[in-house]
């Protein structure tokens, strides 16, 4: 065992360092379940411990990869045998909740679901929400600027963070635990770390913004006859439910039909022959009035033939049933195995042409095996595209990537809307970012982590 | 005339450079109307011209100060005789409006009001709003991360910016004109420049986010019997009007009574003996239902004795009348001349104690001349405090600053909620930011502007 590990054990104790099989047993990739190859997994119990660990690593140029809930999908947590993993799993406390100030102070390792539940316990809400809520951590949500299903109403994780504490590559602790909605006293340093995927600093604690709880929740699954109708429906809902609209998720037929096929566990709530489906949700404070307004919009949509059918959730279990179809990624992974996953954004006006053309190209190149599933946060201009050609080879992946990213640039789209870049999309960064942008990213990386110790190779090569 | 000016005239033409009296005639300070002392005012007509100008300046180490609408109040635009002013006034075009994508592309010199009007012309809204709307520019709003009266609903300027184009100190153009709501393809570079007060780069163009227009606007001025009632009223309004609440402005009696005194032009809409007043506003899509909900909240507040009286605007001119009292800063400046202006944030729970104690200390130190006026964005934890001791001397200013900032640190408040730091608050930055935070700011400044050419001395010493 090398000296560094011994020195780290002196800081965190034996229980704070995992070695050998305890490391290999862990997966670093949600899709492939690939085993963790790191030299060791180090588990600090405090910011002070982490600071000491990073000072030790900095002294001997030891690179580190930070782990949260490991629910990322862009290979952002992969570690080589030369790298140490820093896991925030033992720093998972909810330190403070302030109902008057509408803030919560948490350690980075707390899961999103615990944070949501802690907010609910004081009649507030934490507004970020996504399928991996039970496993993903606040630190990971911050490091990846997580999106999810309520971005249309509350913004991404960036909008939920008021303050941040970060350990830099040399062990310096930058505590910027602001609790106020507005603070223009100098540069807003937290912005630098949010969405930087662990390459500029290690997030240890955060002050989160809470919102009033919305007791009235209206949810519907609707069948939509065309893409034009889908965008018109989004406009109608945005306008008529403007203040309350909290989710507008679109499902292409290839998604809904697959997820409700007989062999999967979801029974279809609507006939499976509609070209598109949408999940629409509003949050409000007045159940009766909100239900009325919601029903009125659905009626208007029916009359205008923007929808052909609708199921309105009458209970929270019915609501659950609607969302399960959207959130069950495991069934998708199983059905499409081996699956290539994409998370793009592009202007809504171009989405239909883009997807149609992609589908045609896929079928032309893989007439037998090519399969595509499309769904996503339409209101945010963000689509998730899952593709299988029944072949996991690197060359097949590259060919599929060429198809997906090929026409994206002409629409000035992004190769990553909410999943980040990691290792997986790194080689395509220049499709969404200019030479000058990437050079500036590298300049920031060099300024904050001159030795390149933090999550090496992720985002930037 | 020096060589640099001649070289710059070669780039922008004679009309692009102001010299001598044309420079002195301009003011750099909204309160004092102090004359501009810069060597010259350079007015590029395009990003390309500005890039060339900065290359010339960089080659000879010429420092520059960027000017927008000059409505800032922290001496952020002051330029010495050795400095050049870069004014974006000729780059004021609205380049594109996309109703489907809900975006607008503008040059930095466009005024906020023109942007608001352009959005309204296509039935959308641009959500930032503040009193200086007719003069302040989008570039200035971005450089200072402007706040204003709708932060409680829509966030600060940071939340309204999707994409940004910036010229760096060496003339490099970083074009990051993202049009999408979600884009996690690498570091979100625009965040670095928003709120950096022209010290890291010069903002030349931006992609702004638009929101659906809210045809229904409910506005009331209410009299509030105590600070406790004021915060209870905010909680009630936040909860009951949650999705629609767009402004919650508090006026202390010392503000309302002064602004509606006989010698000023505003006639009081409510009796002037209430300890507090609030302006409450909601934005929505259904006039009838919104008016009902708004009236219901006011009734509830009356019954619970959270308010003692209310005026509900029945027309847009009545709405205007309510807001004029809040937005008429000129009368304040006139009444309190010479006035020291503060813009602090602190947890709402501590505000009353803080202001009461500040008032007592002021009266103890300046029993004859001390006068304080307090108002602000209560929902954001942000107060504007105007103080006069009828004496503009630097020593008096320092004494007043010591009073205002003295007890702020114990509440972990901020010396600047929305106005920024500039020169005026620079010496107090360490009250709101730690050594490590300031060191990191300096590291960023050095990484982006190693020669220190951009707005020298502002924010950081």
- Using one digit for the tens of pLDDT, what is the confidence trace for B366-386? 999 999 999 999 988 999 999
Contacting residues for B140 by C-beta, under 8 A, at least 6 apart: B68, B69, B71, B72, B146
- B382/A420 Cβ within 8 A: no
Q: Which of B238, B412, B437 sits opposite A179 (nearest CB)?
A: B412
- Residues of chain B with C-beta less than 8 angstroms from the C-beta of A191: 158, 188, 191-192, 194
**Span B216-327 CATH architecture:** 2-Layer Sandwich (3.30)
The DSSP 8-state label assigned to residue B268 in this structure reads P
Burial class (CB in 10 A: 0-12, 13-18, 19+), B1: exposed
Q: What is the pLDDT of residues B413-450, one digit of tens each?
A: 999 999 999 999 999 999 999 999 999 999 999 999 99
**Searching chain B, which residue's CA lies closest to the CA of residue A159?**
B159
In 3-state terms, what secondary structure has residue B60? coil
Measured CA to CA, the distance from residue A298 to residue A68 in angstroms comes to 40
Measured CA to CA, the distance from residue A339 to residue A362 in angstroms comes to 14
Q: How many other β-carbons are positioned within 10 Å of the β-carbon of residue A337?
A: 11
**Searching chain A, which residue's CA lies closest to the CA of residue B346?**
A180
Delimiting residues of CATH 3.30.70.2740 domain(s) in chain B: 330-417+430-446
Q: What is the pLDDT of residue B197?
A: 98
Pairing outcome for strands A161-167 and A173-176: antiparallel
E runs forming strands in B114-160 = 124-125
Measured CA to CA, the distance from residue B43 to residue B14 in angstroms comes to 10
Question: Fold for domain A94-212?
Answer: 3.30.465
Q: What is the pLDDT of residue B1?
A: 60
- Measured between CA atoms, how close is B186 to chain A, in angstroms? 6
The answer for A136, left when phi > 0, alpha when psi is -120 to 50, beta otherwise, is: beta
Q: What is the pLDDT of residue A3?
A: 96
Q: What is the pLDDT of residue A1?
A: 60
Q: What is the pLDDT of residue A60?
A: 98
Residue of A228 and B2 predicted with greater confidence: A228
- Measured between CA atoms, how close is B168 to chain A, in angstroms? 10
- Measured between CA atoms, how close is A447 to chain B, in angstroms? 6
Delimiting residues of CATH 3.30.70.2190 domain(s) in chain B: 216-327
Q: How far is CA A142 from CA A47, A158, A195, B274, in A?
A: 17, 7, 6, 45
Question: Fold for domain B3-89?
Answer: 3.30.43
Q: What are φ and ψ of residue B416, in 5° steps?
A: -150, 110
Mutate to test the interface with A, among B180, B207, B247 (most CBs of A within 10 A): B180
Measured CA to CA, the distance from residue B208 to residue B146 in angstroms comes to 14
**Searching chain B, which residue's CA lies closest to the CA of residue A418?**
B184
- Residues of chain B with C-beta less than 8 angstroms from the C-beta of A168: 440
Mutate to test the interface with B, among A141, A148, A173, A184 (most CBs of B within 10 A): A184
Q: How many CA atoms lie within 13 A of A240 on its CB side?
A: 20
Delimiting residues of CATH 3.30.70.2740 domain(s) in chain A: 330-446
- B186/A441 Cβ within 8 A: yes
Q: Which of B183, B289, B429 sits opposite A185 (nearest CB)?
A: B429
3.30.43.10, 3.30.70.2740, 3.40.50.2300, 3.40.50.970: CATH of B330-417+430-446: 3.30.70.2740
- Measured between CA atoms, how close is B285 to chain A, in angstroms? 6
Q: What is the pLDDT of residues B152-164, one digit of tens each?
A: 999 999 999 999 9
The residue whose two tokens read 């209870």 is B232
Q: What is the pLDDT of residues B92-150, one digit of tens each?
A: 999 999 988 899 999 999 999 999 999 999 999 999 999 999 999 999 999 999 999 99
Q: What is the pLDDT along chain A (461 residues), one digit of tens a residue?
A: 689 999 999 999 999 999 999 999 998 877 778 899 999 999 999 999 999 999 999 999 999 999 999 999 999 999 999 999 999 999 999 999 998 889 999 999 999 999 999 999 999 999 999 999 999 999 999 999 999 999 999 999 999 999 999 999 999 999 999 999 999 999 999 999 999 999 999 999 999 999 988 889 999 999 999 999 999 999 999 888 867 899 999 999 999 999 999 888 899 999 999 999 999 999 998 899 899 999 999 999 999 999 999 999 999 999 999 999 999 999 999 999 999 999 999 999 899 999 999 999 999 999 999 999 999 999 889 999 999 999 999 999 999 999 999 989 889 899 999 999 999 999 999 999 999 999 999 999 999 999 999 999 999 98
pLDDT at B34 over 80: yes
Q: Which sign, positive or negative, has the C-alpha torsion B302, B307, B310, B313?
A: negative
Measured CA to CA, the distance from residue B84 to residue B66 in angstroms comes to 9
Question: Fold for domain A330-446?
Answer: Alpha-Beta Plaits (3.30.70)
Find, among B195, B133, B22, B76, the residue nearest to B457 by Cα.
Answer: B76
Q: What are φ and ψ of residue A245, in 5° steps?
A: -55, 120
Instruction: Please name every residue paired with A173 in a beta bridge, in sequence order, or none if there are none.
Output: A167
Measured CA to CA, the distance from residue B450 to residue B199 in angstroms comes to 11
**Searching chain B, which residue's CA lies closest to the CA of residue A154?**
B154
- A175/B434 Cβ within 8 A: yes
Q: Average pLDDT over chain A, rounded to whole?
A: 95
pLDDT band at B461 (very low <50, low <70, confident <90, very high): confident
Q: Which of B285, B415, B416 sits opposite A242 (nearest CB)?
A: B285
Measured CA to CA, the distance from residue B95 to residue A131 in angstroms comes to 39
- Residues of chain B with C-beta less than 8 angstroms from the C-beta of A345: 180-183
- Residues of chain A with C-beta less than 8 angstroms from the C-beta of B460: 186
- Residues of chain B with C-beta less than 8 angstroms from the C-beta of A344: none
- A182/B417 Cβ within 8 A: yes
Residues across chain B: 461
The DSSP 8-state label assigned to residue B37 in this structure reads -
The residue whose two tokens read 């037929």 is A253
- Residues of chain B with C-beta less than 8 angstroms from the C-beta of A158: 188, 191
CB contact at 8 A, B307 and B301: yes
Mutate to test the interface with B, among A149, A169, A180, A199 (most CBs of B within 10 A): A180
CB contact at 8 A, A404 and A385: yes
In 3-state terms, what secondary structure has residue B217? strand
H-helix or E-strand spanning residue B371 = strand B371-377
How many contacts does A have with B, using Cβ atoms within 8 A?
Answer: 257
Find, among A420, A415, A413, A30, the residue nearest to A196 by Cα.
Answer: A420
The residue whose two tokens read 């099989």 is A21
Mutate to test the interface with B, among A187, A210, A231, A461 (most CBs of B within 10 A): A187
Find, among B363, B367, B346, B354, the residue nearest to B431 by Cα.
Answer: B346
Q: What are φ and ψ of residue A305, in 5° steps?
A: 60, 30
Per-residue HEC secondary structure of chain A comes to CCHHHHHHHHHHCHHHEECCHHHHCCECCCCCCCECCCCEEECCCCHHHHHHHHHHHHHCCCCEEEECCCCCCCCCCCCCCCCEEEECCCCCCEEEEECCCCEEEEECCCEHHHHHHHHHCCCEECCCECCCCCCCEHHHHHHCCCCECCHHHHCCHHHHEEEEEEECCCCCEEEECCCCCCCCCCCCCHHHHCCCCCCCCEEEEEEEECEECCCEEEEEEEEECCHHHHHHHHHHHHHHCCCCEEEEEEEEHHHHHHHCCCCCCCCCCCCCCCCEEEEEEEEECCHHHHHHHHHHHHHHHHHCCCCCEEEECCCHHHHHHHHHHHHCHHHHHHHHCCCEEEEEECCHHHHHHHHHHHHHHHHHHCCCCCEEEEEEEHHHCEEEEEEECCCCCHHHHHHHHHHHHHCCHHHCCECECCCCCCCCCHHHHHHHCCHHHHHHHHHHHHHHCCCCCECCCCCCC
Q: Which sign, positive or negative, has the C-alpha torsion B83, B84, B86, B90?
A: positive
Q: How far is CA B106 from CA A34, A346, A413, B114, B203, in A?
A: 47, 20, 20, 10, 11
Delimiting residues of CATH 3.30.465.10 domain(s) in chain A: 94-212
The DSSP 8-state label assigned to residue B111 in this structure reads B
pLDDT at B31 over 80: no
Exposure string of B335-352, with b = 16+ CB inside 10 Å and e = fewer, is: bbeebbbbbbbbbbebbe
Q: In the sheet where B202-209 sits, what is the strand order?
A: B94-98, B103-107, B202-209, B161-167, B173-176
Contacting residues for B235 by C-beta, under 8 A, at least 6 apart: none
Q: What is the pLDDT of residue B263?
A: 87
Contacting residues for B302 by C-beta, under 8 A, at least 6 apart: B308, B310
Q: How many other β-carbons are positioned within 10 Å of the β-carbon of residue A356?
A: 11
């Amino acid at each position: 065992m090398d000296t560094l590990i011994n020195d780290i054990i002196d800081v965190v104790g034996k229980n704070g360092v995992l070695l050998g099989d305890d490391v290999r047993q862990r997966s670093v990739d949600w899709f492939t379940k690939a085993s963790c190859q790191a030299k060791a997994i180090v588990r600090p119990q405090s910011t002070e411990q982490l600071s000491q660990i990073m000072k030790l690593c900095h002294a001997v140029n030891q690179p580190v990869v930070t782990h949260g809930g490991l629910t990322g999908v862009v290979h952002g947590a992969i570690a080589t045998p030369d790298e140490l993993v820093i896991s925030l799993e033992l720093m998972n406390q909810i330190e403070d909740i302030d109902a008057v100030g509408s803030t919560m102070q948490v350690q980075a390792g707390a899961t999103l679901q615990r944070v949501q539940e802690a907010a609910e316990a004081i009649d507030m809400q934490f507004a970020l929400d996504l399928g991996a809520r039970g496993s993903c951590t606040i630190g990971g949500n911050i490091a990846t600027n997580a999106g999810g299903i309520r971005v249309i109403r509350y913004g991404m994780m960036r909008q939920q963070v008021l303050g941040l504490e970060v350990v830099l590559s040399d062990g310096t602790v930058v505590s910027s635990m602001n609790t106020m909605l507005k603070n223009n006293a100098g540069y807003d340093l937290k912005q630098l770390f949010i969405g930087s995927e662990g390459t500029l600093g290690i997030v240890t604690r955060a002050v989160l913004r809470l919102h009033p709880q919305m007791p009235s929740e209206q949810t519907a699954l609707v069948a939509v006859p065309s893409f034009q109708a889908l965008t018109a429906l989004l406009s109608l809902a945005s306008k008529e439910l403007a203040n309350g609209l909290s989710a507008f998720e679109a499902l292409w037929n290839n998604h809904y039909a697959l997820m409700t096929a007989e062999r999967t566990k979801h029974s279809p709530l609507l006939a499976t022959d509609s070209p598109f489906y949408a999940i629409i949700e509003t949050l409000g404070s007045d159940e009766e009035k909100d239900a009325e307004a919601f029903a009125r919009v659905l009626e208007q949509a029916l009359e205008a033939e923007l929808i052909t059918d609708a199921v309105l959730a009458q209970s929270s279990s019915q609501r659950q049933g609607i969302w399960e179809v959207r959130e069950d990624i495991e069934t998708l992974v199983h059905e499409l195995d081996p699956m290539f996953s994409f998370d793009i954004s592009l202007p809504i006006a171009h989405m239909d042409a883009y997807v149609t053309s992609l589908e045609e190209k896929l079928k032309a190149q893989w007439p037998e095996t090519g399969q595509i599933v499309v769904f996503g946060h339409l209101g945010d201009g963000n689509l998730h595209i899952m593709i299988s050609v029944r072949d996991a080879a690197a060359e097949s992946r590259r060919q599929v990537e060429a198809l997906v990213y090929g026409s994206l640039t002409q629409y000035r789209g992004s190769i990553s809307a909410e999943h980040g870049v990691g290792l997986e999309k790194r080689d395509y960064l220049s499709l969404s970012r200019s030479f000058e942008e990437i050079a500036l990213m590298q300049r920031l990386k060099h300024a904050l982590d001159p030795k390149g110790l933090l999550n090496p190779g992720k985002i930037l090569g």
